[in-house]
Amino acid sequence: MAEGIPAAEFVRFADVSVVFGRGAASVQALQAISLSFAKGDFVCIVGPSGCGKTTLMQTLAGFLRPSTGAVSVDGQPIAGPGPDRGVVFQQPALFPWRTVEANAGFGPEMRGIDPAQRRARVETWLARVGLTEFRHRYPYELSGGMQQRLAIVRALVNEPVLLLMDEPFGALDALTREKMQEELHAVWRTSGMTVLFITHSVEEAVYLGTEVVVMSPRPGRIIERIAAPFARKEGDRDIRAIKSSPAFVAMRERILGLIWGMAEG
Amino acid sequence: MRAERPAKAERFWPITLASVAILFALWAGVSVLGLVNPLFLPGPGLLFSSFIDLLFNGYKGYSLPAHIGVSLMRVALGFGSGAIVGTLIGLGMGAMPLFDAFAAPFVEFLRPLPQLAYLVLLIVWFGIGETSKIVLLFLTALPVAAIAARDGVRNVPRERIQAARALGASPGQIFRHVIFFSALPEIFVGARLAIGIVYATLIAAEIIAGSDGIGWLVFDAGRFLRSDYVFVGVLLIGLMGLGLDFGLRTLERRVVHWAGK
Amino acid sequence: MRTGKHFNRRHVLAAGLGFGAGAAVMRSARAAAPPEARVGYFVETKPTMIAKSLGWFADAMNTKIAWSEMGSGAEINTGIAAGGLDFGLAIGSSPVAAGIAQGLGYQLIGMVDNIGPAEEMTVRASANIARPADFIGKKVGTPFGSTSHFRLMGFLAVNHLSQGEVTVLDMSPEQIVAAWKRGDIDAAYVWSPAKAEILADGGKVYETYKELDAAGYVIADLIVVRTAFARRYPDAVAGFLSAYGKALNLYVTDPDKAAAIIGKAAGVSAAVAKANLAEYDFVSLKDQLSADWLGPPGSPGKFAEVLHGTASFLVQQKSIRAAPPLAVFEKAINTTYLAKAVG
């Protein structure tokens, strides 16, 4: 970590605004967003459609330059996409002409990382998510859940300091979704990675996040930041037990109330 | 999605077979009953004997395989060069808006131009040898391939490119490893379209100072109502076209096995 | 091709109407005028154009004429075989020989011209072609299926040149001009205006027609009529020929006036028309009845042999499947209408 950067400002959005279009037809997607979080945090962003969640993530990924303000990671301003920030989308966005193995190793291959090291990393991660036996298959031969696991593995093989996920489980069925939540949680817990996670599901956000950021639309801004204790809870990790505990339900309902309030107002 | 389900054409092959059989029966019936002047519709027997005659005695100085061979050579060179150059141009057009603005007028102008309109110009520019024939087929294949490749590049899912960028791929790597492969299914579709059109243009190409080629054979035989040769030639052209399309489809299934899945 | 399509659509309908009308009036119609005559013709500088543009054909036949411009003699053959044409005007002897051999159901009723030197070999002056052997290794362009092609093949046969030694290329007249200008061909066997253009562009005449005419490779432009039409309307057919005779007579007596009319109809200057006309030997109707040409009614002249020879040659060329015996060609020549027209 660079000197002089407070630990709580590992990722920093400083007064970030994004305006699409010009003149009368312009739309303010984000208004003066200031948000920082520490290394190792799992930050979930929730909010109704149009609140700018994805836009916010895109400025951090480097796909989008803020109209005003700045985004930095570890004190370094974002100038464009980079392998230090892995990205996972709702659609797996895999390379269908590459095998599972070759998809997973895409990042290191492009970056010219030594093939032996690349193979080792790919093997480790594929084994971890149970894709080893499918390594010579093609993405279209995998189920939706397995495709999304591969997309996550592809990002992780690059060993990013930050993982950006834009509704990664949004297209999965409920059962697969919960299994993926458990797996992602396990990966985060053991790796200590920093994650920015965008979701529509408040339950998912409360379960996975160390912090839940609630945004409101038109223009997109942060209305509340809520620390969530469940991700770092030790001991029994039974997902159903956690999600049905009174504390969990209370927090979930509180956040849902905030979002419903916006919809009504 | 994962369960292999045969395509419609494969499941309904008996209907395809029946349609061919009905057509054949109609043809044979009409000609056996003498309902049509054989000059207009030669019967199956005459066609077969004419085919054998062409096979053993050739046509106007060249054997039948030589006519077919020279036509295939022209199609291969004209289509091959047109598809490759067209694809390269189309990839450039899709990737570089400036180049697109530069090349689009030529490609769009060339595409609907009737080949017969500029046959004489081709002779003036390229002479009466193989060059003008191949250039005609080249010019026919090029715009089709270019437009398919351009659209292929334009249709690459944005998230696929973003994923590659986030994984650390350089712009050059993204083009070679992501955009090119993403466009490949459409490039193949364009190639199949192009070979169909090139095939239809073969006769036009071979009437440029011709004296060989299966397209010229059909054209020449038609001059004196040698309809038996015309039919044999047309059937051969059709079968060759099916064969080429089948070959291209097989190649397509192997190379872009992921397409449509 | 454009005109072919045009005439197809219109004349399928016309054929139907003609048939209906013919059936209605039955036998009594034998001497009457046809409701319509459908003529396939070429736009060219020949006296036929006088009779066409001044309406003489229609007047002499006492009917209206549907004119269809054709691209080749083969198109006339197809048109008559399909029942969409009644007359073929100035169709080449090669397609006529093919048509008779194929039993297309038409009769040869008259001639327009003996082509003679009008279609001739033109060689590039710089190519040093003086003898038949000089053609070895040279490229010669000609429109396949035409009378010129037939002559050229005759030239090779008479001089024992094979198609391996001389490269014969199938080219339309405008392609010949283009290839000549590029220097891609050394010689061409073709008619004017293509012939005149390449002669003016470093070409010279290499005379073959006398030798070839003597060897039986006579070529001519002819008039044919659909047999069924001629049987029903013999007076109209005779009228058609007399209209042509009248036009030919104008050309013979006043060539300048004729050239002016023809040039206007063909879209060229009177001077060009006059020069083109001078290349052809327009055989008078009376001479056509001599034994040298079509012969008097019931006694076919030498031209039957020309047609038979042409057909035999076309069989060798695989242009047609088989040639019938001479008698079939003799039978296809019917000069009764011609005799009537001459009077």
Identify whether residues B216 and B236 lie together within a single domain. yes
Residues 6+ positions from B12 with CB-CB distance below 8 Å: none
Bridge partners (DSSP) of residue C120 are C190
* List of chain C residues whose C-beta atoms are within 8 Å of the C-beta of residue B210: 169-170
Residue A152: give the domain boundaries.
Answer: 94-159
Interface contact C167-B228, CB threshold 8 A: no
Identify whether residues B6 and B59 lie together within a single domain. no
Of A89, A95, A138, the CB nearest to B181: A95
State residue B30's pLDDT score.
83
Report yes or no on A16 lying in a domain: no
User: Which range has highest mean pLDDT (A192-206, B27-41, B213-227)?
Assistant: A192-206
Minimal C-alpha gap between C323 and chain B (Å):
13
Interface contact B258-A89, CB threshold 8 A: no
Spell out the domains of chain C, with CATH numbers in brackets: 2-25+38-115+219-342 (3.40.190.10), 117-214 (3.40.190.10)
| Strand A211-216, strand C139-142: pairing | unpaired
Minimal C-alpha gap between B202 and chain A (Å):
35
State residue C36's pLDDT score.
92
State residue C12's pLDDT score.
37
Subunits next to B (3 or more Cβ pairs <8 Å) are: A, C
Interface contact C167-B211, CB threshold 8 A: yes
Sole residue written with tokens 């056509």: C288
The structure's pTM equals 0.79
Q: What is the pLDDT of residues B160-217, one digit of tens each?
A: 999 999 999 999 999 999 999 999 999 999 999 998 888 888 888 888 777 889 999 9
Alpha helices in chain A (DSSP H): 53-61, 100-104, 106-110, 115-128, 144-156, 174-191, 202-208, 239-244, 246-264
Cβ proximity of A252 and A84 under 8 Å? no
Interface contact A97-B184, CB threshold 8 A: yes
* List of chain B residues whose C-beta atoms are within 8 Å of the C-beta of residue A80: 165
Dihedrals phi, psi of C262, to nearest 5 degrees: -65, -45
Identify whether residues B23 and B149 lie together within a single domain. no
Model confidence band, residue A4 (pLDDT cutoffs 50, 70, 90): low
Interface contact A85-B159, CB threshold 8 A: no
State residue B7's pLDDT score.
56
Residue type (1 letter), B99? F
Minimal C-alpha gap between B160 and chain A (Å):
5
B91–chain A Cβ distance below 8 A for any pair: no
Query: From CA B170, how far away is CA B235, in angstroms rounded?
Result: 51
Q: Let me know the angle formed at the C-alpha of B19 by B17 and B25, rounded to the nearest 5 degrees.
A: 100
Query: From CA C42, how far away is CA C79, in angstroms rounded?
Result: 14
Phi-psi region of A7 (alpha: psi -120 to 50; beta: other; left: phi over 0): alpha
Among the ranges given (A33-37, B185-189, B222-226, C161-165), the one the predictor scored with the smallest mean pLDDT: B222-226
C292–chain B Cβ distance below 8 A for any pair: no
Q: What is the pLDDT of residues C80-116, one digit of tens each?
A: 988 899 999 999 999 999 999 999 899 999 999 999 8
Identify whether residues B33 and B50 lie together within a single domain. no
Q: What is the pLDDT of residues B93-146, one digit of tens each?
A: 998 989 999 999 888 888 888 777 777 788 888 888 888 899 999 999 999 999
Interface contact A81-B166, CB threshold 8 A: yes
Label residues B76-97 b or e (16+ Cβ within 10 Å = b). Answer: ebbbbbbbeebbebbbbbbbee
Identify whether residues B69 and B89 lie together within a single domain. yes
Average pLDDT, chain A: 88
Dihedrals phi, psi of C336, to nearest 5 degrees: -65, -35
Residue B243: give the domain boundaries.
Answer: 45-255
Identify whether residues B122 and B230 lie together within a single domain. yes
Query: From CA B14, how far away is CA C298, in angstroms rounded?
Result: 61
Name the closest residue on chain B to residue A62, using Cα atoms: B166
Report yes or no on A110 lying in a domain: yes
| Strand A194-198, strand C106-114: pairing | unpaired
Rg (CA), chain A: 19
Report yes or no on B230 lying in a domain: yes
Minimal C-alpha gap between B124 and chain C (Å):
5
C248–chain B Cβ distance below 8 A for any pair: no
Q: Output the tens digit of pLDDT for each of chain C's 343 residues.
A: 333 333 333 333 334 444 444 444 444 445 578 899 999 999 889 999 999 999 999 999 999 999 999 888 888 998 998 889 999 999 999 999 999 999 989 999 999 999 989 999 999 999 989 999 999 999 999 998 889 999 999 999 999 998 889 999 988 888 899 999 989 999 999 998 899 899 999 999 999 999 999 998 999 999 999 999 999 999 999 999 999 999 999 999 999 999 999 999 988 899 999 998 998 999 999 999 999 999 999 899 999 999 999 999 889 888 888 899 999 999 999 999 999 998 7
Q: What is the ipTM of this complex?
A: 0.87
* List of chain C residues whose C-beta atoms are within 8 Å of the C-beta of residue B229: 318
Report yes or no on A219 lying in a domain: no
Average pLDDT, chain B: 87
Identify whether residues B98 and B203 lie together within a single domain. yes
E strand spans, chain C: 36-41, 64-69, 87-92, 106-114, 120-124, 139-142, 167-170, 187-190, 203-206, 220-226
Query: From CA B35, how far away is CA B17, in angstroms rounded?
Result: 25
State residue A144's pLDDT score.
87
Enumerate residues 49 to 88 of chain A having a beta carbon within 8 A of any beta carbon in chain B: 61-63, 80-83, 85-87
Report yes or no on A193 lying in a domain: no
B83–chain A Cβ distance below 8 A for any pair: no
Identify whether residues B51 and B21 lie together within a single domain. no
Report yes or no on B260 lying in a domain: no
Read off the pLDDT of each residue in A235-257 and give the average, rounded to a whole number: 89
DSSP-derived 3-state class of residue A96: coil
Identify whether residues B21 and B150 lie together within a single domain. no
Closest CA to A87 of A57, A111, A109, A64: A57
Measure Cα distances from B146 to B91, B133, B189 in Å: 7, 20, 12
Number of domains in chain B: 2
Number of domains in chain A: 1
Interface contact B209-C167, CB threshold 8 A: no
Q: DSSP string covering A117-171, please?
A: HHHHHHHHHHHHTT-GGGTTS-GGGS-HHHHHHHHHHHHHTT--SEEEEESTTTT
Bridge partners (DSSP) of residue C187 are C123, C140
State residue B5's pLDDT score.
53
State residue B3's pLDDT score.
45
B232–chain C Cβ distance below 8 A for any pair: no
* List of chain B residues whose C-beta atoms are within 8 Å of the C-beta of residue C144: 220, 223
Question: Residue B91 above 90 pLDDT?
Answer: yes
Q: Is C235 exposed, middle or buried (0-12, 13-18, 19+ CB in 10 A)?
A: middle
Rg (CA), chain C: 20
Bridge partners (DSSP) of residue B11 are none
C122 vs B8, residue with greater confidence: C122
Model confidence band, residue B8 (pLDDT cutoffs 50, 70, 90): low
Dihedrals phi, psi of C134, to nearest 5 degrees: -70, -15
Residues 6+ positions from A116 with CB-CB distance below 8 Å: none
Minimal C-alpha gap between B105 and chain C (Å):
28
| Strand C64-69, strand C87-92: pairing | unpaired
Report yes or no on B261 lying in a domain: no
State residue C321's pLDDT score.
87
Report yes or no on A150 lying in a domain: yes
Token representation of residue C37: 């005559």
Identify whether residues B29 and B102 lie together within a single domain. no
* List of chain B residues whose C-beta atoms are within 8 Å of the C-beta of residue C74: 222-225
Cβ proximity of A98 and A110 under 8 Å? no
State residue C28's pLDDT score.
42
Q: What is the pLDDT of residues B231-254, one digit of tens each?
A: 999 999 888 888 888 999 999 999
Alpha helices in C144-267 (DSSP H): 147-158, 173-182, 194-200, 209-214, 227-232, 234-253, 255-266
A140–chain B Cβ distance below 8 A for any pair: yes
Report yes or no on B202 lying in a domain: yes
Q: Is C66 exposed, middle or buried (0-12, 13-18, 19+ CB in 10 A)?
A: middle
Token representation of residue C47: 């006296």
State residue C25's pLDDT score.
41
State residue A21's pLDDT score.
83
Q: What is the largest CA-CA distance in chain B?
A: 74
**Which domain CATH number covers B151?**
1.10.3720.10
Measure Cα distances from B253 to B11, B247, B259, B261 in Å: 18, 10, 8, 12
Interface contact B166-A85, CB threshold 8 A: yes
Interface contact A140-B178, CB threshold 8 A: no
Cβ proximity of A11 and A37 under 8 Å? yes
